[in-house]
Structure 1
Amino acid sequence: MSLPEPSPDALEQSGRLVRSIRDAIAHAGGWIPFSRYMELALYAPGLGYYSGGARKFGPGGDFITAPELTPLFGQALAAQVEQVMRASAPAVIEAGAGTGLLAADLLLELERRNYLPDSYAILELSGELRERQFDTLAEKVPQLASRVRWLDALPERFSGALVANEVLDVMPVHLVVSRREGLFERGVAVDDTGTLRWADSPAEGVMAAAANALDLPRPESGEYVSELNLAAPAWVAEWAQRLERGALLLVDYGYPRAEYYLPSRSNGTLLCYYRHHAHGDPFLWPGLNDITAFVDFTSVAEAAYDAGLDVLGYANQAAFLFNCGILDALARRGPHESADYIRAARAVQRLTTPQEMGELFKVLALGKNLPQPLLGFSRGDRLHTL
């Protein structure tokens, strides 16, 4: 596969990040776990993929998320957000708000429903993305932009609806390698030429305990490689300490544990994205590629339950969006023969068909002190698979 060559400025920025990563490896004694490498590649201040200035979302970026496809995604999600707010408090926090389009779509639809939140907060680590979100909101919803504020950290206490669309998949993951002789953690070292390379070390500590609990396939020859996302369960457990009443609505691609660690999935789910090309080399142009891994939703649900949250629902994206009325939102687009309606219908098809995003993406709802079943899981709930 041939990838488009980055600009000289982008390559220079990537080179500075590589030097920073090499320094981190040297400081750690010659080896760092992949989770630390992924953290630096994505979030190193001023140099990482999400903390640098490169365009990430949309046709001119590296990938397209559901809000970039159509506002109908946010309009359907708003029905669930409204229900949660009515049962808790009129407040929304969006984690990792991307370009700000989802925030704009949610606010517009909640305004149409006459149930605007008193506050809409965005939890965003990237200064560059904060600026884009501010500009998007000023352009799309100038009359509502004053309701939005930005957070640097999780709030001490919160009641309302938390929305996290494609957030868990970019949390740093550990790589576990199962071979006949035991379990190893795959990390990153530097060869004699200064090039980043893979290096394995015997699994230890919390990572080893978590890997052993999975009972991973142990091939007679070769190896079985997969991911352990210890950050996502820890993040959810932190929310459990802060949520007083309301729900977390987590949208991402992933599987329940029984499907995640299938023997046939022996190379794991780690993927990199660059200019709408998916590839498997996380050492290619660090800082210029997104690095993601599918979500083990079972581990997230277990962590939530252990921390005191209720697991309220788990469904594929198609079922969730249909339950939340995406077809009604589509019908409001006007005559079926209009170009606008046809474009919107194609976007809905992409969001909901099994071959596209409908099955690959899942929605997990976690909550506290909510009295009623949630709208988005009225049909097609798959809690029994977690």
Structure 2
Amino acid sequence: MRIERPDFLTYSQGGRKVELPLPDAAAQAHSARLLERIRAAIAEAGGVISFRRYMDMALYAPGLGYYMAGQNRLGADGDFVTAPEMGSVLARVLVRVLTPLLQSEASSDGILEFGAGRGALAQQIHQCLPEVPYTILELSPDLQEQQRTALPGLRHLQQLPERWRGVMLANEVLDAMPVRVVERDAGGQLRERAVRCNGEGLEWDWMPEPYAEAIDPGLTPLLMAEWPEHYRTELHPLASAWLREIATCLQAGALILMDYGHEAGEYYHPQRQSGSLRAYYRQHWLDDPFYWPGLCDLTAHVNFSALLEAAPDLGLEVQFYGNLARFLVEHGLAEVYAELTAGLDTQGLLVLNNEIKRLTLPQEMGESFKVLILHKRASA
């Protein structure tokens, strides 16, 4: 959903943000209303709330959260750019993967896409597969409206259906799920980070008790023993819970997950001591998640080990797992490139080549962006 190498990096600890454009008066007022709601939640909780609760409010508070209000988010004039917003290469390769999956009688419901943004990926796939039923499940009211305007022929849902036979598609959905933030304190104990008011705004604090809930699969005591003091990272209980719910709904077909993330050994490596939590604002990424609440997107990379470990017990078979560059190359990038270059002038070819570079180069999306395809067979 977000390009890895942004224009500018700012730090929360005494960092200057004067280079960032200020939101207009209406946006500032919107953020202030959300901040007051967060302050009320903190006061009601006795002085602190978990970061997970803060992230949930910052992104999904009705009418005020980043994804639940009406500001522009995607594209060059928004806060971040997604792969489908750059062009149609990803969609064209996905079509080559989707076509055989959808030819089975077990795929009668067609495609269900979660969190489709402005509908760019849906539009590109639907243009190539116009006969395949396409459904979008979207929680954001204003994005629902944008999708209905751009894609009037598609079906829209606001909650997961009881059963689905076909393909489910989630492009950068899991990285926007609220996470728990944990850190080793000065005594070496793992504790959960919290959020408190500091008079003017919000800042980090600690939850009162040591962290005692389940740790992500793949995060071993050996890895944790190597963490230095003040090592901070994220845990993803909602992602694993979401996968269990999806597996129950999916009667037959496939689930395609595309997101930024790592396997546990890399995700929780001792050298990755500040975690992956980021805020995105006007094509910049920040390590300050409290900057203009409601006006910044908040994301954390996905622990794919947890999903890979859970899949077999949920009746899901791993059909493919790898980085985006490998996925594209192995599933027809060369053929798609030949199709797209036909008739292009020099400028068009330059734009296409730049798109492919951003999708495949290791320093762009090619390495840290992963694709996971899980298959579920129809029960006998």
TM-score (structure 1 length as normaliser): 0.87
Query: Greater CA deviation, 357-366 or 86-95?
Result: 86-95
Amino acid at match of 1:298: S
**Counterpart in the other structure of 1:315:** 322
Q: Which of 16, 37, 40 is equivalent to 2:57?
A: 40
**Counterpart in the other structure of 2:16:** none
Give per-residue Cα distances to partners, 1:7-29, cap 9 Å, x unaligned: 01000000000000111112222
Q: Structure 1 CA distance, aligned partners of 2:360 and 2:294?
A: 31
State yes or no: 1:242 paired with 2:249: yes
SS in 2 for 1:41: helix
Distance of aligned partners of 1:243 and 1:211 in 2 relative to their CA distance in 1, 3 Å threshold: closer
Q: Structure 2 CA distance, aligned partners of 1:62 and 1:221?
A: 33
Q: Which of 93, 104, 116 is equivalent to 2:112?
A: 93
Distance of aligned partners of 1:358 and 1:221 in 2 relative to their CA distance in 1, 3 Å threshold: closer
SS in 2 for 1:155: coil
Q: Percent identity over the alignment?
A: 42
Contact persistence 1:93–1:162 (CA under 8 A): yes
**Counterpart in the other structure of 1:305:** 312
SS in 2 for 1:217: helix
Report the alpha carbon displacement of residue 213 of structure 1 after superposing the two structures with TM: 5.4
Report the alpha carbon displacement of residue 306 of structure 1 after superposing the two structures with TM: 2.6
Q: Structure 2 CA distance, aligned partners of 1:316 and 1:44?
A: 33
State yes or no: 1:17 paired with 2:24: no
Contact persistence 1:227–1:270 (CA under 8 A): yes
Q: Where in structure 1 are there 5+ consecutive unaligned residues?
A: 138-144, 372-386
Q: Structure 2 CA distance, aligned partners of 1:154 and 1:34?
A: 26
Report the alpha carbon displacement of residue 203 of structure 1 after superposing the two structures with TM: 3.4
Q: Structure 2 CA distance, aligned partners of 1:226 and 1:211?
A: 14
Give per-residue Cα distances to partners, 1:250-303, cap 9 Å, x unaligned: 001110111100000011011110000011111110000000001100012222
Query: Greater CA deviation, 168-177 or 79-88?
Result: 79-88
State yes or no: 1:26 paired with 2:43: yes
Report the alpha carbon displacement of residue 212 of structure 1 after superposing the two structures with TM: 10
TM-score (structure 2 length as normaliser): 0.89
Amino acid at match of 1:135: T
Q: How does 1:232-381 map to 2 (within 5 A)?
A: 232-333=239-340, 334-335=342-343, 337-369=345-377
The alignment of Structure 1 onto Structure 2 pairs a total of residues equal to 356
Give per-residue Cα distances to partners, 1:155-179, cap 9 Å, x unaligned: 1001111111111101000001123
**Counterpart in the other structure of 1:135:** 149
**Counterpart in the other structure of 2:122:** 103
Q: Structure 1 CA distance, aligned partners of 2:143 and 2:320?
A: 30
Q: Structure 2 CA distance, aligned partners of 1:212 and 1:322?
A: 28
Report the alpha carbon displacement of residue 151 of structure 1 after superposing the two structures with TM: 1.1
Distance of aligned partners of 1:219 and 1:353 in 2 relative to their CA distance in 1, 3 Å threshold: closer
Amino acid at match of 1:272: A
SS in 1 for 2:255: strand
Q: Which of 179, 182, 199 is equivalent to 1:176?
A: 182
Q: Structure 1 CA distance, aligned partners of 2:114 and 2:201?
A: 35
Q: Structure 2 CA distance, aligned partners of 1:74 and 1:122?
A: 16
Amino acid at match of 1:108: Q
Amino acid at match of 1:48: G
Give per-residue Cα distances to partners, 1:60-119, cap 9 Å, x unaligned: 1001000000112111111112222123314100001011010000011124xxxx31x2
SS in 1 for 2:23: coil
